[in-house]
């Protein structure tokens, strides 16, 4: 059974650079939000802030990435098991920034997905089309292809319900201020819920890409079950506003 709470996921990306600022951001969110009933807040700070700070706040925690092995001679990597042992329940996988800047491929993401499942962490799996692909009317084809490629290593027979979250993040909308129109995002949502696409599970689908306090609620109104928020999650005031608006739903 899915829980009914709306998910508000803050992806801090490579920010802030100072421990004190991370602490201040956590504190402002905590003080401004108070108790929540309808929303589940998941914060994905940079790795160094997970242990010392994250764990002291009443939020679910997520990593922004993980490796596909649990331990071994892999210099610089962080494993899903490490995240799990730090108290993380989630990990973002397949983010387009990692694909663009770090050369992550479908195959790598697929292996990371398997490792996250093995460690018992819920992947927040990002899928999305480029502007060019959208203009050419290829959005559905691309999303179908990405899902197939990412889930390739998961046994066909396995129904993945509560162990996976899908984040629809049109690449052209990430960090651009040019959010996808809710009605266009709704069309994609309907596609992703089609029985031939969602046959592997009744997973929750969240929207990400230039979400702010003005457009946030519209994505929930058209059926998304949460939001993946980048830039605005670093602005405590706006982030709190979004949570409060969803709490009223
Ligand atoms: P954005 O980022 O909200 O700054 O567009 C979203 C994301 O990359 O997850």
In this predicted model, what pLDDT tens digit does every residue of 91-145 receive, in sequence order?
999 999 999 999 999 999 999 999 999 999 999 999 999 999 999 999 999 999 9
- How many angstroms does the Cα of residue 158 sit away from the middle of ligand 1? 30
Q: Cβ(97)–Cβ(174) under 8 Å?
A: yes
Residue 160 has pLDDT above 90, yes or no: no
Backbone φ and ψ for 95, nearest 5 degrees, come out as -60, 140
Q: Which of the four pLDDT bands, split at 50, 70 and 90, describes residue 1? A: low
Give the 3-state secondary structure of residue 85.
helix
Residues with catalytic function: 95, 169
Cα(139) to ligand 1 centroid in Å equals 19
Quick one: pLDDT band at residue 207, thresholds 50, 70, 90? very high
Asked if the bond preceding 151 is cis, omega within 30° of 0, the reply is: no
- The pair phi, psi for residue 220, each rounded to 5°, is -70, -40
* pTM metric for this prediction: 0.96
Q: Which residues does residue 9 pair with via DSSP β-bridges, in sequence order? A: 42, 228
Whether residue 79 has pLDDT greater than 80: yes
Q: To test the ligand 1 pocket, which listed residue (229, 232, 235) has its Cβ within 8 A of the most ligand atoms?
A: 229
Our mutation pick for probing the ligand 1 site, out of 231, 233, 234, counting the most ligand atoms within 8 A of Cβ, is: 231
Least confidently predicted of 6-20, 41-55, 78-92:
41-55
Q: Given pLDDT bands bounded at 50, 70 and 90, which one contains residue 220?
A: very high
Q: 65 CA to middle of ligand 1, Å?
A: 15
Determine the distance separating the centroid of ligand 1 and the alpha carbon of 127, expressed in angstroms: 13
Task: Enumerate residues 6+ apart whose C-beta is below 8 A from 224.
Answer: 168, 185, 189, 205, 206, 207
If DSSP codes are grouped into helix, strand and coil, which group holds residue 233? helix
If you take atom 1 of ligand 1, which residue's CA is the nearest one? 230
Q: Is the pLDDT of residue 155 over 90?
A: no
Q: Which residues line ligand 1 (CB under 6 A)?
A: 11, 169, 174-175, 208-211, 228-232
The mean per-residue pLDDT over the stretch 163-180 comes to 97
Report the candidate in 244, 216, 221 with the shortest Cα–Cα distance to residue 231. Answer: 216
pLDDT of amino acid 2: 67
Smallest Cα–Cα separation from 174: which of 240, 101, 78?
101
């Amino acid at each position: 059974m899915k829980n009914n709470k709306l998910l508000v996921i803050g992806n801090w990306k490579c920010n802030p650079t100072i421990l004190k600022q991370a602490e201040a951001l956590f504190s402002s969110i905590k003080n401004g939000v108070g108790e929540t009933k309808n929303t589940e807040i998941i914060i994905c700070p940079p790795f160094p802030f997970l242990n010392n700070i994250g764990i002291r706040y009443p939020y679910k925690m997520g990593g922004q990435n993980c490796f596909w092995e649990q331990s071994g001679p892999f210099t610089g990597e962080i494993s899903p098991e490490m995240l799990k042992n730090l108290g993380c329940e989630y990990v973002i996988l397949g983010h387009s920034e990692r694909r663009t800047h770090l050369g992550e491929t479908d195959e790598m993401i697929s292996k990371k997905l398997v490792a996250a499942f093995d460690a018992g962490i819920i992947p927040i799996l990002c899928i999305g089309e480029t502007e060019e692909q959208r203009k050419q009317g290829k959005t559905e084809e691309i999303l179908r292809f990405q899902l197939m490629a990412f889930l390739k290593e998961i046994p066909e027979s396995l129904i993945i319900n509560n162990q996976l979250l899908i984040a629809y993040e049109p690449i052209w909308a990430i960090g651009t201020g040019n959010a996808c129109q809710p009605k266009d995002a709704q069309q994609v949502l309907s596609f992703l819920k089609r029985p031939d696409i969602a046959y592997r599970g009744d997973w929750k689908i969240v929207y990400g890409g230039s979400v702010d306090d003005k457009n946030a609620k519209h994505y929930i109104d058209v059926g998304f079950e949460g939001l993946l928020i980048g830039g605005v999650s670093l602005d405590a005031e706006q982030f709190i506003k979004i949570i409060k608006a969803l709490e009223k739903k």
